[in-house]
Amino acid sequence: MESPDVSTEDIQKEIIHHAGHSKNGWDRGVALSSAFLAAFAAICSLFAGHHASEALIEQIQCSDKWSYYQAKSIKEAVLESKMDLLDQERIQISSKDKFKLGEYKKQQEVIFEEAKESQKRSKEHLVCHINYSAAVTFFQISIVVGAVSVLCVNRKYWYLSLIFGLVGVLLFIRGFFL
């Protein structure tokens, strides 16, 4: 995951510093909520990275399975061509070749299902990654808006910050249950 252009850690430190020197309980509330939001952002970032890696690994396995499937298809096609030529020449087709042809078809069915399953798991991990990444973004926005509320001495911005944080929590929960 790319690092944000604005360092939320620096903003977080500034809020905490300001709240530590303030006699206003509201500043402490903003600092505390920002600290929790930063913790959630870190956890979501970790989960987003994990699911991105898992999606990539599953996609690689899927590609490997499709390559293996194609190799079996080529073997099957070559064997069918051989059998067609032998049949045209009225030459007896061996039972070994007939058995191999059946085996290739069975193997292809299994490989096909494995590839489809791997593809499905990759997509599921990608959906989780997207949810966690969006949650991180909302947490970061929430922290920034919280900082603005302290700088502007306006509680409405803090409430807006909490709403952004709530959206982040909902995205986190959604990603967790996917």
Q: Encode burial over 14-52: b for 16+ CB neighbours within 10 A, e otherwise.
A: ebbebbeeeeeeebbbbbebbeebbebbeebbebbeebb
For 164-177, the pLDDT digits (tens) are 999 999 999 999 88
Kindly state whether residue 23 falls inside one of the protein's structural domains.
yes
pLDDT at residue number 19: 58
What is the average per-residue pLDDT within 83-101?
91
What is the average per-residue pLDDT within 68-82?
94
Kindly state whether residue 123 falls inside one of the protein's structural domains.
yes
Distances from the Cα of 166 to the Cαs of 33, 37, 45, 105, 143, in angstroms?
11, 9, 16, 52, 12
For 99-110, the pLDDT digits (tens) are 999 999 999 999
Kindly state whether residue 109 falls inside one of the protein's structural domains.
yes
Kindly state whether residue 1 falls inside one of the protein's structural domains.
no
Q: State which residues form the domain around 54.
A: 8-177
Domains identified in the chain, total number:
1
pLDDT-derived band at 31 (thresholds 50, 70, 90) equals: confident
Q: What is the pTM of this model?
A: 0.74
Beta strands in 17-71 (DSSP E): none
Asked whether the beta carbons of 176 and 135 are under 8 A apart, the reply is no
Helix axes 25-88, 8-20, angle to 10 degrees: 160
Best CA proximity match to 106, nearest among 66, 64, 76: 76
| Sign of the C-alpha dihedral computed for residues 28, 33, 38 and 43 taken in this order | positive
Residue 1 DSSP class: -
pLDDT at residue number 1: 46
Kindly state whether residue 3 falls inside one of the protein's structural domains.
no
Asked whether the beta carbons of 124 and 178 are under 8 A apart, the reply is yes
Kindly state whether residue 95 falls inside one of the protein's structural domains.
yes
Polymer length of the chain: 178
Kindly state whether residue 105 falls inside one of the protein's structural domains.
yes
Kindly state whether residue 2 falls inside one of the protein's structural domains.
no
CA distance 35 to 44: 14
